Amino acid sequence: MKKIVIFICLILSLCACVCAVGCTPPANHEHEYTTLVERIESTCSAKGKEVYKCACEETKTITLEIDSTKHDYKTQYSFNAQKHWKECRLCSDKLNEFAHEFLDSSKQLTKAPTCNEKGLYTYTCVCGQTHTEDIPADPTLHDFKGEYFIDGNTHYQKCQECQTAGTKTAHEFLDSSKEQTKAPTCDEKGLYTYTCVCGQIHTEDIPADPTLHDFKGEYFIDGNTHYQKCQECQTAGTKTAHEFTKEEKNQSKHWVECEDCGAKSNEENHEFTWQSNISEHAGVCDCGQEIDGAHSFAQGEFTCSVCETAVYTVTLKAKASANAPDFYLSNKVVQDLGLTDLGSGVYQIKVLLGEKIVLPVMKEIKDASDECYAKSWVYGNKTYTEITVNQTDLPTLITNGTIELTLTYGAMWTPFF
């Protein structure tokens, strides 16, 4: 199979060589230019050409004449003052050369006229050339605006173009411009101000109004009533009964005040309910006022100047008897009851008016373990088992705030274990 393919290829190669030798024209053959290989068209300004080829590859060029119809016109118009046209890019030939035409459809206002200056219309041809037409100045076109000028009862504006004065117009004071520039009072009139568009003003009085009293400030007291005065005209206002609803107090007194004017009623000294001891007191009034502190005694006095509590000095003198020659008060009793031992069987204690004095009296009989208890006070011809310093006893017992009692050993005694 392989040998067959090689054989076929040799035969084909041989045929190709024979054909090539057979197609080559002889050196002196006659050319035939029948195949067109290139063509360039002529234009209005340049010649074209055609190139033909012979079978032997020899070529021949034929020049074409200029074609005056082959123009290349520009899209845009060219123009001068009178005409327009489309120009050939190659030879400057002109196409459609016409005089300009300025149609009303192209008319445009490019400058508006004023009262003293003309305006301008512009017309545009299809080629772009323009033509202008003046618009006469119009005296009716004054531009009256801006600042107002006042002339007595009239005002006017000037034209912004030529400064011509406009029509003078009477001032107009509209309700929409009305403004209260001063309020009336009970004795002085007020003022309304109206403003014209030009700025001119007109005023109108507002009558004083007696109902506009301004009652405020200080209260004036008249017995059971109070009142205020008008801040404008000092007229006295309506008198009103006090309302005593505000409770007030100080260190020494209490009272009620009128909420409005401050008038006082039921002013009284405090009445304190006292709680006192030998050295100090505390008191509370029904109004809530409180006071406390140490007693205060004037020189030579034994009654507190604040709470009126009487504080007395009680001097106890222990007196021995035939039955109890060694009568004494024990150290424990002295200490527990705050007695001051002055020596020689004399003791002191301070007591309040109405305070009960209960003191045990001690005596040693046989020995330290055999004690007896007795309580007995002797003053004058009276014997007390429990002494209460009260109003009945004061004339007898008190001398310059001092009570002096003699303590004796009495028959009333009870064993004490």
Give counts: helices (H), strands (E), the chain.
Answer: 3, 36
Rounded-to-integer distance, Cα 37 and Cα 57, Å: 11
Q: What share of the chain is helix, strand, coil (3-state, %, to 5)?
A: 10, 45, 45
Show the tokens assigned to 66: 């200029």
* pLDDT tens-digit map of 164-223: 999 999 999 999 999 999 999 999 999 999 999 999 999 999 999 988 999 999 999 999
Q: Are 115 and 143 in contact (CB under 8 A)?
A: yes
Show the tokens assigned to 254: 């209490």
In this predicted structure, what is the pLDDT of residue 358?
65
Name residues whose C-beta falls within 8 Å of residue 159's C-beta, 6 or more positions apart in sequence.
Answer: 115, 142, 143, 144, 166
Rounded-to-integer distance, Cα 337 and Cα 332, Å: 8
In this predicted structure, what is the pLDDT of residue 362?
54
In this predicted structure, what is the pLDDT of residue 13?
56
E-assigned strands of 54-112? 59-64, 78-79, 83-87, 94-99, 108-111
* pLDDT tens-digit map of 363-375: 444 433 334 444 5
3-state secondary structure 364-375: ECCCCCCEEEEC
Q: What is the pTM of this model?
A: 0.42
Q: Give the other-Cβ count within 10 Å of 381's Cβ.
A: 5
Domain ranges of the chain: 35-70, 104-140, 142-170, 175-211, 310-415
In this predicted structure, what is the pLDDT of residue 326?
60
Mean pLDDT by 10 residues, the chain (417 residues): 53 48 63 89 87 90 85 91 92 90 94 93 94 93 93 94 92 95 93 95 94 92 93 92 93 92 92 89 92 89 86 77 62 77 82 70 43 52 59 60 67 33
Helices (H), 277-406: 331-336, 394-397
In this predicted structure, what is the pLDDT of residue 48?
87
In this predicted structure, what is the pLDDT of residue 126?
93
- Closest by CA to 197, choosing from 182, 167, 166, 176, is 176
In this predicted structure, what is the pLDDT of residue 329?
67
